[in-house]
Amino acid sequence: MESINPATGQRLDSYETHDADDIDTALGTAQSAFVDWRSQSMAHRQTLLEKTAQLLEERVDEYAELMTHEMGKPIEQARAEVRKCAWVCEYYAETAAEQLQDELIESDSDARTLVSYDPLGPILAIMPWNFPFWQAFRFIAPNLAAGNVGLLKHASNVPGCALAIEEVLQDAGMPEGVFQTLLISSSEVDDIISDDRVAGVTLTGSEGAGRAVGQRAGQQLKPSVLELGGSDPFVVLDDAPIEATAKRGAFARLQNTGQSCIAAKRFIVHDAIYDDFVEAFVDEVEALTVGDPTDEDTDIGPMARPDLRDDLDDQIDRTLEAGAELLTGGEAVDGEGAYYQPTVLTEVPRDSAAATEETFGPVASVIRVSDETEAIDVANDTDFGLGASVWTSDLDRGEVFARQFEAGLCFVNELVKSDPRLPFGGVKNSGYGRELSRHGIREFVNAKTIWVQHGLGEDDTSDDSYAGVE
């Protein structure tokens, strides 16, 4: 498995992949580790998460540089990603005990009834390259806190990041087998999901990968969480502050070089301010610096792989052929690296590639609408349902509008983002299940009902006392 710098096309390193025997050993180690890990006190597990957070903070520059070299993330954004991983570890170190404490539920007056939340076992995480540390840690922190153990199948272009994640957890004192990285191909995933030693699976990735993983998990009657693609609407109402909204919109679309599931992708703009917004938006996009991702002044780096750049270029060409207009960008950058010009398309037809497919790179599609009714219709006219945002000077109006979005993450006057304190996930073809917050930590646990009867008398065993019992 090779690591290639997308800014230069040069090989960074090569890594020995794991074979069938290695996988079998890892699964056995995970199963054994789970028996001990689940019996450890919550306080102990939380202490190790706190230590992990400390190490991440100490190694911000080291891990940021690794990300930047392996997948091209601008360096300051890479540092922010490592710090966010520390945050999610700190969050569950502080909150996991409360989120998983026994829940008393009132039932019969002569019984004590409750729900306990018990870990399931080894969980397989299949993670993407675009946020190589964050995507993994938003799985790791809640699941290790809950008493599960993790197996990571990371994207094949970030093997260095995958091993660094394993390293920092080991250095924090996590016992052997509590978290392991598997350097394997996607073709080996089905057999791992089917293995009796794996209790569940989570995937962040494409719709196609999600369907395959969800199908296999369903066949094995194992729980799964899928966070798939998005084509997030960014709705600009007629009373939105144009300059401020355009500035936020440019960042919402182009952070991480546009390679984000929750990036704003379809800009749906009220006709009354359409021309003014487009002018301000293009100015903001053209002001961003494209360049070497290790340079502190770079806003937009290379795309992660040349083939991804080619796919984006094809989507733009098909959208232009369908009748859209090109205002800026629209071409690959000459020279080394998988760079693509930041691109703005306007008058984008609703049935064109950029409006119906996920565009995973630095291109924004702008669609004109006549009123709020048409705006929400266009916003929801997609197979995806991950995130959505609306921009307005009237917060009450914004909230009423946001409640109409068919999406899992709905924001008013803020770009769509993940936050450890709030559930994260989508609907429709964007997947199911939730990560983060108390919702995420309860995805891979057994919500166990416990009934403790206070007394057992003659009346309790009468035929009448069991009338209607299933």
Annotated catalytic residues are: 227, 261
Contact 326, 285 (CB under 8 A): no
User: Helices (DSSP H) in 100-227: which residue ranges?
Assistant: 134-146, 159-171, 189-194, 207-219
Contact 198, 221 (CB under 8 A): no
Instruction: Find residue 203's DSSP bridge partners.
Output: 126, 226
Cβ within 8 Å of residue 100, ≥6 positions away: 42, 117, 145, 146, 441, 442, 445
Cβ within 8 Å of residue 78, ≥6 positions away: 63, 64, 65, 67, 68, 293
Contact 151, 124 (CB under 8 A): yes
Counting every residue, how long is the chain? 470
Contact 382, 356 (CB under 8 A): yes
* Cα distances (angstroms) measured from residue 210 to each of 64, 137, 430, 442: 28, 19, 9, 20
Cα gap 424→20, rounded to integer Å: 34
What 3-state class would DSSP assign to 10?
Answer: coil
Cα gap 198→175, rounded to integer Å: 18
List the structure tokens of 135: 């995507």
Cβ within 8 Å of residue 307, ≥6 positions away: none
Which secondary structure element, helix H or strand E, spans residue 235, and what is its range?
Answer: strand 232-236
Q: What beta strand segments (E) does 94-148 contain?
A: 103-104, 111-119, 122-126
Cα gap 421→423, rounded to integer Å: 7
Contact 445, 118 (CB under 8 A): yes
Contact 365, 323 (CB under 8 A): no
CA 410 to chain CA centroid, Å, is 15
